[in-house]
Amino acid sequence: MRTPTDDLSDGASLELGRDQPVFGPELGEFEHSERRAVQADGEGEMKTGTTTVGIRTADGVVMATDMRASLGGMVSSKDVQKVEKIHPRGALTIAGSVSAAQNLISTLKAETNLYEARRGKDMSMEALSTLTGNLLRTGAFFIVQPILGGVDDEGAHIYSIDALGGTTEEEYTVTGSGSQYALGVLEQEYYDEVTVDEAKTIAAKAIQSAVERDLASGNGINVAVVTDEGVDITRHKDFDDLL
């Protein structure tokens, strides 16, 4: 910490004179995060491209993703699992940088386990969404845009979380490069009393629509169903299994 008696006549004074956020840096914020965000947009990193969907129902949530990863203009993998269990009754989809998403998922799993060990109960979905947003705001997970879904004592929840940590609770949401195609399907098909089985079909239609038009999405579908009983994730190469 700088004291009032420090000499500010050299480069240090120039550093202090630069424009900086009034309330920053935030706790845990990484230096040069903007520069690293630009670097993360290069051609040498594996990305999920992606279409991901989250739908809330009365009895739980349904989350679905495609299965393609890209490396620049090339399909680097045709069998990527883009939705993971991170909580006894919660799951997270990923869109963006594969390495950052894997790290985020590992961190969230560790934090939810630690919370349970310390308090003797599961973390609520509101607390988990806040934690996820806080982690993204540190700048350590460029560039990831997840969907968080789960069930707690207050019911089912779907959270849309942007790459900078902004969090909103939704009835349904999408992320990824194919999101505009998937969102059109959700707008037409979703209704308030939708069941889990119906939500699985709607999610599959939304992902299939994106796969037809988005080059970065394809090669099958991952589906996670989250209820009071836990998280069930299935993988399908053929959309007909769900339609």
User: Which residue numbers are catalytic?
Assistant: 50
Contact present, 59 and 53 (Cβ < 8 Å):
no
Which residues lie closer than 8 Å to 133 by C-beta, 6 or more apart?
Answer: 161, 165, 166, 167
Element (H, E) at 112: helix 98-119
CA-CA distances (angstroms) from residue 172 to 46, 96, 148, 228? 27, 20, 11, 19
> What DSSP designation does 163 have?
T
Contact present, 210 and 183 (Cβ < 8 Å):
no
Residue whose structure tokens are 């947003």: 133
Neighbours of 171 (CB within 10 A): 15
Which residues lie closer than 8 Å to 185 by C-beta, 6 or more apart?
Answer: 202, 205, 206, 209
| Distance from C-alpha of 87 to C-alpha of 126, rounded to nearest angstrom | 13
